[in-house]
Structure 1
Amino acid sequence: MLLPEEPRVSRLLFIPLVLALVTLGACASVESREKGRAVRVRLDDGVLATAQEGERHALLIGISAYADPSWNGLRYAAKDADDLGRVLADPARGGFRSVTVLTRPEQTTRTSVLAALQALEARPWRPQDTVVVYVSGHGSLARDARGELQRYLVTSDTRYRDVAGTGLEMATLEQALERLGSRRRVLVLATCHSGTGKSLLPPEVRDELSHLKASFLPQPLEAASRASLVLSASDWGEAAREDDALANDIYTHFLIQALDGSGDRNRDGAVSATEAHDWARRNTWAYTEGRQRPSAQILEVGADPVLLSGTLERPGQPEVFSYSARLEGFTLKVDGHEAGELPGGVVVPEGRRRLELRKGGQVLWEDTVALRSGERRELEAFLRPMVDGPKRTVTLGAGMLGFLDGRSREQVLPAAALAGVGLGWEGVLLDGRLDLWVDVAAGQGSQSLRLDPGGVVPVRHRTLLLGVALGPTWTWGRLNFSTGPRVAGLWLQRSFQLDLLDRDERYVTAWPGWMAAVSFRFTPVWVVEARTQLLWAYVPVDGQTRTVGFGGLMLAGGYRF
C-alpha cells in the first residue's frame, strides 16, 4: 500500500419510626354489621437489650351512644375498646404501664376527646416510649372551612347536620400524636366513611359521591402524617364489618387475637404493630370471603420496632415484607416454594435464599438474597432499581476494533485493542421504549505493516472512538438483548518509523453503523455485557479515499443506578 500524500484532519466532540394504624370498624346489617416509603433491620443483642426500655401507654375510646338520633347506636364499639384494653394491660401480653379506656357518653364528646389528647401531650414522653391511641365509632365525610372534603370522627355529641363544625377531623388525631415526644406511636381508627350503617354521610356529601364514576373515593382524602405507617382494616371505598358471632369488629377481633401471641410471625417473643396487622388482615380477608380487604400505606419506617405485646427474647427469623399497593396480589416464592401473598410480611429461612415475585404466572423479579437472623428487608428496596429505576447504567470494558477485510488490517491498520467507558439511559424516548447509549474508548499499539513496494515498516498507532446508539431492549428474566443504529466518530494516528522517514498521519472521520448487545444481570444493579458494532467509514486506502467496513467487540461490566 502507498502512503497517502497528505493527512486528512477534521474535528469532533426511624430514623424515627412513627406508625399510624387505621382500622375500619362496623356497619349495621341483620346478621353482620359494616363499618364505614428501603428498610433493613438487624436486631443485635444490644438492640434486644434496649428495645423495651421505654414505657407503653394507651388511650382507648369506644363511642357506642350518640346524642343525635340520626347516628344509629353501635353494639360493639365500646366493647372493642374494653377488650383491647384488657389485652394491652395484661402483664403477660401487652404489659402497658397505663391503659385509659373512655366509653361513657360524657367521656366521648369532642371536648372530652380533645382533652384526653392534650393530657397525653402533657406527659413527659421519652423517645423510646410507646403510645397507642384507639378509637372505635362512627366516621363521616364533610367539607371543611376551605371547602375541601375531609374525614371526621363522629363523637358522641356530633350533629348529623353539622359534621364539620361538631365532629373531630381525623387529621387532628394524627397531628396530636405527631406532637408527642415518643417515636413509637400507633393510631388505631376503628371507623369508616363508606356512606352506610356506621358511617352515615350528610345528604349533600352523599349526593356528591353518587355522581362519581367509582363507587367511592379511590384514595385517602388527606395525606397521611409524615414518617408514618398507615394500616387500614379495609380498602378505600369498602366498609369494615362487625359480627355477632365474634361479638366484635371483625378486624379488631383478629387484632386482639394477634396480640395474644398468634401474630408473632418471626418467633422473637414479641408482636409488633405490623405483625399484628398482617395477622388481622389475612384472617379478616378469609372470614369475610374477600369482601373486606385490609390494606397498608408505608411512608417511612425506621429500624426501631414498635412492640404491642410480649417481650423480645431472641432475634427473630428473617422477614421480607411489602405494603405497596402496586404489589397487591403478588406471590412471594422462596427457593421455589410459595411463601405468602402480598401485601404483608413473610418469614424466610436464614441464609442465602432464592426469592421470586410472581403474578399470573409471570416473574416480576427474582434474585438470591443473603438473610440473617433478626433482619427485616423491604421488598421495595430490592425492586426499586427495577420498578422506579434504575434509569442509567455505567460500564467499564475492553475489546478490539479493526477493518473487516484482512487486506486492510495487514496494510492499513491492524486490529486495535481498546479500553473504554459507556453510559446508558433506559427508556428515554417513545414512552420508554427506546434506550440511549454513549461510549468512548481509546487504545494504542505498534506493529509492522507490509507495504508494496517498501517491504516491512514498523508503525505505531493510536485510536480514539466516540459513539452514540439508540434502540429497544428486550428482556427475558435476567437476560437482555439490545440493538439499534449507531453513529460514531473515529480519530486514528499512524507514526511510521523509518530511517529516511519519520512521519505521522491522522484521520478524523464519522460514520453510521449498527450495534447489538447482550447483557446479563447478576443482581438488580450489577451486569455484564458483550457489545458488537459494525461501521462504515471513509478512509484513505492506496492513495484513494474509499468506503471500508470496521467491526468491534467490547466486553464490559456495569453498575445500574
Structure 2
Amino acid sequence: MPTSPPVGRYALLVAVGAYDDPSLDQLRAPEQDVERLAAVLEDPAVGNFTVRILADAPDHEVRREIEDLLAERVNDDLVLLYFSCHGIVDPFHRLYFAAANTVRTRPASTAISRSFVNEQLEACRAAAKVLVLDCCFAGAFAEGFKGNPQGALDGQIGRGYVVISACDSYEYAFESDGLVESAPRGSIFTDVLLEGLATGGADLDGDGRVGVDELFRYVHDGVVRRRPDQKPKWSAYNAEPHIYLANVPMTVAASLGVPGSRGGVAKAGAGAVPRPTTYNRHQAIVARGFRAGADLVRRTFGPLGRRVLVEDASGAYHELGDAAGVVRLFTAYDTRDAIGTSYVRELVEGVRHRVGDGATTTVVLAQAMMDGASAALRAGANPVALCRGIESATLAVLAELADLAVPVETKEQLRMVSTIASNDETVGDLLASAMERVGKDGVVIVEESNLFGLELELTEGMRLPAGHVSPYFVTDPEGAEAVLADPAILVVDQRLANGADLQPFLEAAGGQGRPLAVFAHDVRDGALTALIVGKMRHALASVAVRLGGPDQERRSLMADLALLTGATVVGEADGGLGTAGPTVLGGARKVITTRRDTTVVDGAGDPQLIRRRVRRLRAALEGSEPGPGQAAQREQLARLAGAVAVIRVGESAEGQLKKRKRQIDDAVRNAKAAVEWGIVPGGGAALLTVAGRISTRVPRGDDEALGYAVVIDALVAPYEELMRNAGRDPLAGPADLRRRGPGVTFDVVSGTYVTALDAGIVDAAATLRQAVTAAAGVVTRYLMIG
C-alpha cells in the first residue's frame, strides 16, 4: 500500500562550504554535517523527517527552497530549517547567511537575509517551526523578534517558533580542531547536536523523546565544555508546549556484560564520552523504506495475523493476508523508500523459493536486526566489526537449530508441517500422502487442472541436479521456472556453440508443435542465442540445461535420461549433431527446470527397458562393497526407480487457481525441507531457546560483541510479534517460556503452554535456518552502505 511520507515532519538542511569570493574562507564541516544530520533526522526510529539537502547553492536557489519548504505546510506540520555556512553581519549588525555566490561586501544582493528567513517562518502555517543556525554571529537572528522570547517548553504537543543558534551575536562558531575517522573536521555545535539526537543523550527527562528545549540544554553544555568562548543561544516566539524533534533510539544492549539485553538506552554524558555516530544518510533511507514494507508484512504474522489492504500501481485495493501477496503489490509513496522496500521483496521471494515458508518470520527478524544495527551505528560502532559479530552469531544459531531438530519419521509429522506451511488441513493431508508414497528422495510437483478440487497421481520421473542456463528460458516468472509441456528432448554429450547445429532440431520440434529441451555438456555462444531468439521471436519454447561434472558421472546421467525419455545420446565419437537426425529426439509429458534442478515427468522411454535396468542395478548393488562405487549405483537406482507425485489443482476462478497453486507449491518446498533438516518447536519457541543458549558466547571486541547481540536480541522478535498480533502482552512471556524447557511453546489461539510436537505447533528447521541466514545477510548488506 503506498504510504505517506512521515506525517507533518519536514526538514531543509542548507550547507555552504565552497565560496566564489576568496575573502570568504572555505569551510570543511558543512557538507559532512548535513549528511550526518540528515541520516539521523530521516531515521524512522529517531526523527522520521522528510529531509531535503541543499549544498553549495547560490542565494536565489536557497531562497526558493526555503519558500518551497514553508509555503505548503499545514497546521499540524513541524518544519526544521538548518543552516551550516558563514554568517555575515553588515555595519548595522544585520545578519546574512552566505551562499556559494555571496560577495562579502554586497550581502544584501548576494546572500540570504535574516529578515527573509524570519518573514517566511512567521508566515508559515506549520504548528511548530525550528530554526537551527550553525554559523558565526548566529545569535543576531533573534534580535528584533516581534514578541518576547519564551523559555523552556513544557507540554505534550508542540507549537511555536524556536531558534537555536551556535553562538551569540558577537561570537564565532568553530569547526573542531581534532580529526577522527568517523567525523573528520565537523562543526563543534552540530557534532554535539548529532551526539544528543543519535545516542539519546539529549533526553534529559528520560521520557524517551527529545524536545527542543532539552536538545538546546544538552548542546549548550556540550559546546561550552569544548569551547568556553562559544555559547549557543536559544530564542522562542509564542512557543507553548513541547516540540519533540526525535525519539530516543534503542541501543543493542544496555551493557556488553549482559549480551542480548533488550531495551537498554545508552545516554551520552552518563560516564564515558560517546563516540561520533557512524550512521549515514543512505542507511537511513534504506531503513525507512524497509520499515514501510516490513510493517505491512508483520501484521499478517501468525495464526491470528491481520489482513491488510494493499494498493497496487493502478490504484486498486487488494485484501491480502500473506507476505508474498503484500510485497508483490506494495508500492511506496515516496520514491526514496523504493530501495528499502525492495529489500523486503527480495527477502520474501528468496525465502519462499528456497523453503516455501517462513517469509514473514524472516522479515520480522530482519527488521529487529536492522533496528539493533542502526542503534549500534548511531552509538558509533564500526560497521565491519558489527558484520563480523552478526556472522558469528548466525553460525552459532544454525548449529543450535541443528541440535534442536527432530527427524521427520512419520506421516503425521509430515502432515503437521504441510498443514502449517499451507494453512490448510486438506492440503496437509494430501501432501503427506504424496511424500509417503514417493519417499524421501521422490519428487512432488503441482499442476493446474481443468477439474475443480485436488487430485493426486503417481507417475514415473527423474530429478537432475542441473537447471536452465539462462533466465530467458523462464516461462513462469513468479516461480522462476521454465515449464515445457510435451517437449522434444535432445541429449548431446558435447559442448554446443554453433547455432546452425541446433537449427534442424528446432525445425523438427517446431514442425510437430512441440517445445525443445536440450541437455548437453555445455550450451553457449551461438547455440544459446539460437534457442533464446527462437523462443522470443518465434514463440518456440525451449530450454537448455548444462550437464557438467566428471566425464563418467555425466555420461551415466545422460544414459539414464535417454533411457527414461527414449532419446539417443549424441556424442562427438558418433559424428556429433552434424550427422544426427530428428530420430535421436526423445520426449516426456513435462520438463520443469529451475536455476538449480530439472524434473522430467513421465518420459517416453520403453517401460520394459527401464525395468530391466532397474533390476540389474539392484542386483549389482546387493553384491557390491561399500564405497564410492556403491554410492554412485544407489544414486543411479534412485534416479531410474524414483516416482513423481503430481498434485493437480483446480479452482473455479483463474485468480484463485494461481493463488491455490502457489500455496501448495510453497507447502511442497517446506515439507521437503522438513524431511531434510527435521522439525523444531514452533511459535517462536525454538529461536527463544537458541537465544538463551548462545547468549553466553559473546566474542571479544566491543563492536563485534554488539553485532553478536544484534542477532540475540532479534531472535525474540518473532515470538513477540506472534503475541502482539494475538492481542497478548509481547513482553510477558519469553522468560516464562524459556523456563518451561525446549520442547514447550505457547499456543496463542488457546492461550496455553503446550508440548509443541503433541500440539502440532512445529516449524521446519530449514525454515528457521533460512530465515536467520537471509535476515543476517540483508542486514550486513545494509551495514556496508556508505
**TM superposition score normalised by structure 1:** 0.38
Structure with the bigger percentage of helix: 2
